[in-house]
Amino acid sequence: MQIGRGPATVIGREAVSQATLPCRSDRVLREKELRRKPQIVSWGFFVLNWPFGSVRQRSFVQGKMRFSHRDVALTSLVLLLLGSGSAHAQSALANRDSTLAGRDVVDEAGRTVRIPQPVQRIVSLAPSLTETLYALGLQDRLVGDTDYCDYPEDAQKKRKVGGAINPNFEEIAALRPDLVLVIKSLNRYDTVRALDELGIPVYATDPRTVDEIISSTGRLAEILGTEETGSALAADMEHRLSDLQKRLAPLPPRKVLFIVWAEPLISIGKDTFIADALRRAGAVSIVDSSQSWPQVNLEEVVKLHPEYLVFATGHGESVAHDMDAFSGLPGWRLLDAVRNRKFAVISDAVNRPAPRIVSAIEDLARQLHPEAFVEMPVKEKIKKENPPASERPAVHSTSGAENREATLGEARACAR
């Protein structure tokens, strides 16, 4: 029996991705890029910027050293300058030495990356990474980001390098980045390979829990030389999460279906940062898959009785559009959660492993467990609003709302 729209699938089947096409076009573009000759002319200034990083990364990816036209051209240029014995030669070498100043780090995908020090020009290939850079106060070093990097508003004004899964390598190269940031749970490995080929250092993150989002942010802060801001940010996130944990500890978790994509229905696996975010918000996903983004069968969902459906806004047009439409669909109407309109709608911050995810978690917790946020007795409230200097202020003042709608409105405002 097939319930609802779309193909009948089973929980646990791997999602079929729209990403296939863009991936292919990435490859075509990369091949075109690499065929272009002579690269020394078209790459101009930044040829000098990444002389050996490129070789190093290629050797990691391909298991052998291979020299490009750029490397050969650079070597010839250096030999020529050496031979001339001129002051120019000295300064060119000094310049090259200073560009060699770099630090080898192992990224979260296990790749060894030589990162120039200091990093001054960064391109971000994911909205989560863009948000993280802003949260770390590094926005002035962000020279380019993706079409989907829309938060904070200022990120929309940065030079756009295309999509996260289908970036434009010419645009990226034109920005002469010292470093490109990618995230394993969104970007494609093909993208990393193409940038490696261009000799552009790429650092990949891969947080899979909320704690790892915090540590990954801290590691980036350290690599980019802004440890103090990183520590303060981590402390703030941890403080807010522990406040939440205290409030929610006595309450049983709500059983929820998290909808990543509506058509076909795609949810989350148990080892994703979103599943962990749900747990932090006092919820548990009814989908118990070891795949990260499984396609889910509606028939199975009905059997598992989710108390709430959780949607994030802004993932393509799909989810926001379908939330209301769900109520009218025959298959979905079999769900108590749909008949009773038990929908929790949170911002797309939940889809982005970045510091703002804490706001999405708080928002969801308020929607699922409004009773945990009711007014405290006045004495306690005064104490909480005037903590001793050693303590940080509480994140949420109490809402005092018995009425669920009022609580929801307030919580939504809080996530913005």
Q: List residues near ligand B12 by CB under 6 A.
A: 15, 17-19, 22, 109, 126-128, 148, 163-166, 182-189, 192, 204, 260-261, 266, 292-293, 314-316, 348, 351-353
Q: How far is the CB of 252 from ligand B12 (least distance, A)?
A: 26
Are residues 100 and 56 in contact, defined by beta-carbon separation less than 8 angstroms?
A: no
DSSP assignments along 141-198, one per residue: GEEEE-TT--SSGGGGGSEE-B-SSSB-HHHHHHT--SEEEEETTTS-HHHHHHHHHT
Q: How far is the CB of 341 from ligand B12 (least distance, A)?
A: 24
Q: How far is the CB of 167 from ligand B12 (least distance, A)?
A: 8
Are residues 239 and 392 in contact, defined by beta-carbon separation less than 8 angstroms?
A: yes
Q: How far is the CB of 61 from ligand B12 (least distance, A)?
A: 10
Closest CB to ligand B12 among residues 311, 373: 311
Q: How far is the CB of 264 from ligand B12 (least distance, A)?
A: 8
User: Could you give the 3-state DSSP secondary structure of residue 13?
Assistant: strand
User: Could you give the 3-state DSSP secondary structure of residue 256?
Assistant: strand
User: Could you give the 3-state DSSP secondary structure of residue 349?
Assistant: helix
Closest CB to ligand B12 among residues 209, 407: 209
User: Could you give the 3-state DSSP secondary structure of residue 46?
Assistant: helix
Q: How far is the CB of 71 from ligand B12 (least distance, A)?
A: 23
SS3 content of the chain, % helix, strand, coil (to 5): 50, 15, 35
Nearest residue to ligand B12 on Cβ basis: 163
Q: How far is the CB of 258 from ligand B12 (least distance, A)?
A: 9
Cα–Cα distances in angstroms (integers) from residue 43 to residues 160, 175, 176, in the given order: 19, 11, 9
Closest CB to ligand B12 among residues 22, 370: 22
Are residues 133 and 124 in contact, defined by beta-carbon separation less than 8 angstroms?
A: yes
Closest CB to ligand B12 among residues 120, 313: 313
Closest CB to ligand B12 among residues 257, 260: 260
Closest CB to ligand B12 among residues 266, 408: 266
Tokens of 283: 């919820």
State the helix-helix crossing angle for 357-368 and 273-280, rounded to 10 degrees. 50
Closest CB to ligand B12 among residues 114, 352: 352
State the helix-helix crossing angle for 210-223 and 273-280, rounded to 10 degrees. 120
User: Could you give the 3-state DSSP secondary structure of residue 365?
Assistant: helix
Q: How far is the CB of 290 from ligand B12 (least distance, A)?
A: 12
Q: How far is the CB of 256 from ligand B12 (least distance, A)?
A: 15
Query: Strand runs (DSSP E) across 250-395, as ranges?
Result: 254-259, 283-285, 294-295, 308-312, 343-346
DSSP assignments along 310-329, one per residue: EEES-STTHHHHHHHHHHH-
Closest CB to ligand B12 among residues 277, 408: 277
**What is the C-alpha to C-alpha distance for residues 264 and 261, in angstroms, rounded to an integer?**
7
Closest CB to ligand B12 among residues 192, 337: 192
